[in-house]
Each structure stands twice: as structure tokens, then as C-alpha cells.
Structure 1
Amino acid sequence: MSKIAVPVTLCIALSGALALPAYSAQLDISVEVPKLNVAEYHRPYVAIWLEGADQKVAANLSVWYQQRDSAEGHGTKWLPDLRQWWRKSGRSLQVPVDGVTGPTKPVGTHALSFTDKQPQLKGLAPGQYTLVVEAVREVGGRELLKIPFTWPAKDAQQTGTAQGSSELGAVAVTVKP
């Protein structure tokens, strides 16, 4: 074999190894905002976060609130109404938070997806967690749903669901290895 053939063969072999797909753990969430038959309807404020086994916030995933000014003031004024999230994490945040906060959502099912490469999950240690979804609506009610899961999923994907009864509809979490 010539001196040139060895480096070329080595380069070809290494380039094939580098072309393999990069796998990462993934967290998919589905949150339903139900259609309510009420006289005065306002879109709900929703906070979605992860709690560790110690029930402390491990990651803020998404917060939906009114982001434009109105006759009632700016939407951040009402964020404390998301009581559980506000006590555990919200009051220490400077909103808006890039990649976390966003506008309220209309009626329907909304999908969120995160990988362990994104800032929200990048430093999340393996272990037991709980997905928490809290919703509150002006001239409406308040609802909190929790779904436990293990991060990251081992061999197969795992799925958990919860069903709201007033301010939230179906909420699901899927963890993929």
C-alpha cells in the first residue's frame, strides 16, 4: 500500500463515522386550551415548568401571557395570578425571557418540543421530574395539572397524560431517548 493510500482510507473511514446522526433526548408536550361557553371569555395565562423530586423548579419551559398593553395595563401585572409558578419561580424572573415567554394562545391544542441541546433542558440531570402546567383566566378559574416522568427516557419513549376539568383540557408529555 502506498503512503498516500493510508491517509485517504483513514479519512474516508473517519468521515463515515462523523456522518452518523447525532441523537439527543427529547421532551414533547401537548397542552389543550379548551373552548368554554361563557359570557366573557379571556385567553388563559399558562405557565409550563419542570419540578425536581424536591418540588423546586428545575426548568421554566413556557409562559403565555398578554404581551401588549391594554386598558387594564400590561400583561405582566397579572403574572402573579399564576400562583404556584409565581411563588416557585416567576417572581425571580425578569420577563420577557427569550425562548420561554410568549403570547397567550387561542382555543386548541398547542405542541411544544425541547431537546437536551436547548437551554431549558441542557443542564437537566437524569432523575425523576414532574411536568407542571398551570392556567388562570380572568373572569374564570385556575387549574394545575402534574405529570411525573423520568429524564431521560431509557430504551423506549414514555408518555404521561392528565385531563383538566375547567381551564385546561388534555395535557400530555412524551419523553424520547
Structure 2
Amino acid sequence: MRPAYLLLAGAVSAPATAQTVSVTVPRLKVAEYHRPYVAGWLEPVSGGPARTVFVWYDVKKGGAEPGTKWLADLRSWWRKGGRSLKLPADGVSGATRAPGTYQIPLPKNLPTGEYVLNVEAARETGGRELVRVPITVPGRGGSATGSTELGSVTVR
């Protein structure tokens, strides 16, 4: 039989439950619809470097105009570190998404603290939108809703 203090120590040092980001890409009624480029990144509230969690772009586009050419349209993400990210980034990059709701896990090795999750979308012949959600790791999530290019963004 194991002593009780060993079980308690294991429970206290166990990693926190992983948080998940839910991002909704709304269906828009427009004449010419293009799937948006979307990026999500975390910034520590106390300052420090931004960390890209996901970036969805036209990964299959090749030739003289690769899909990465238009990533600079995600202006806030681009300035916060997107321009220095070598793409495709394993576990971060993905293809653009059709309208719907998508689940993305937050990185498991995030230090404890307060962060702002930023999700930005830009669409050809469309608009650009940035949604910010304050969160605490581990623990408290949050949510916010975009008005045009993004629907709800929730961290659980």
C-alpha cells in the first residue's frame, strides 16, 4: 500500500488540464467568398514575446505567388512575430478553413500566468478583424465575439 503523502504529492505536481481554443469562422453572404487567413497567438500580459498557436493560410498555393505572400495581411500577427516564423511550422500551420467552428489546443508547456489570446482574420475581397480574449493559465478561460470576419472565440 502506498503512503497517503505520495499520492497527495502526485496530485499536486500533476500538470494542469490543457485548455482549448474554439474559433468560429462565420458563413458570410457575399458575392465572391474566399476563405480567410486566420492566425492565433498568445501574448503575456506582463510583456514578453508573442507565441503563435495556429496560422491558417493557403498552404498548397505554389508557383510565383505562394500562399505565404498574403500572410502580411494579418497585420497585427505579422508585426508580433509572424514575419519571423518559418513556415510551414509543424503543429502550427494549416490550410484555410471553411465556415464552421474549430477546436485548437493551447500549448501544453505554457508558464503559469495571465495572457491575451489574439485571433486575427483577413479575407481577400473582404475585411480584416482582430478579437482579443484575456485568459489565465492554468484555469480561467474567456470569450469574445467578432462582428464580421470572426464569430465567437472561446478558451475553455
Q: TM-score, normalization: structure 2?
A: 0.86
1:22-33 to 2 correspondence within 5 Å?
23-33=15-25
Query: What SS does the corresponding residue of 2:53 show, helix, strand or coil?
Result: strand
User: Does 1:125 pair with 2:111?
Assistant: yes
User: Does 1:44 pair with 2:36?
Assistant: yes
1:34-113 to 2 correspondence within 5 Å?
34-54=26-46, 56-69=48-61, 73-113=65-105
Q: How many residues get paired?
A: 150
| Deviation for aligned residue 1:53 | 1.4
Q: TM-score, normalization: structure 1?
A: 0.76
Of residues 101, 116, 122 in structure 2, which corresponds to 1:136?
Answer: 122
CA distance in 1, matches of 2:89, 2:151: 26
Kindly name which structure, 1 or 2, has the bigger radius of gyration based on alpha carbons.
1
CA distance in 2, matches of 1:54, 1:23: 23
CA distance in 2, matches of 1:59, 1:96: 15
| Deviation for aligned residue 1:127 | 1.4
Identity of aligned residues (%): 49
| Deviation for aligned residue 1:60 | 1.1
Structure 1, unmatched stretches of 5+, are: 1-11, 117-121
CA distance in 2, matches of 1:73, 1:137: 16
Runs of 4+ in 1 over 6 A off after TM superposition: none
Change in 2 beyond 3 A, CA 1:80/1:24 = same
CA distance in 2, matches of 1:34, 1:57: 30
Query: What SS does the corresponding residue of 1:43 show, helix, strand or coil?
Result: coil
Change in 2 beyond 3 A, CA 1:148/1:137 = same
